[in-house]
Amino acid sequence: MSKIAILKELWDFLRVRKRYWLAPIVIILGLLSLLIIFAESSAVAPFIYTLF
């Protein structure tokens, strides 16, 4: 099964179940988790903490 087929099947599932509004929430949570992981292990942490 190709990656495009998997994405199409996921989109069809979200569309049929009316769950397409979950996509932005999942993306934002993923980006925030990456930001937290990056901030823990770098010298950029003081600059990131000033954003919050």
Number of folded domains that form the chain: 1
Domain assignment of residue 49, yes or no = yes
Q: Which domain holds residue 47?
A: 22-52
pTM: 0.50
Q: pLDDT per position in the chain (52 positions), as tens?
A: 677 888 788 778 878 888 778 878 878 887 888 877 777 776 766 776 676 6
Domain assignment of residue 52, yes or no = yes
Domain assignment of residue 26, yes or no = yes
The predicted structure's pLDDT at residue 20: 72
Domain assignment of residue 28, yes or no = yes
Domain assignment of residue 2, yes or no = no
Domain assignment of residue 31, yes or no = yes
Per residue, the 3-state secondary structure of the chain, as one string, reads CCHHHHHHHHHHHHHHCCCCCHHHHHHHHHHHHHHHHHHHCCCCHHHHHCCC
The predicted structure's pLDDT at residue 52: 66
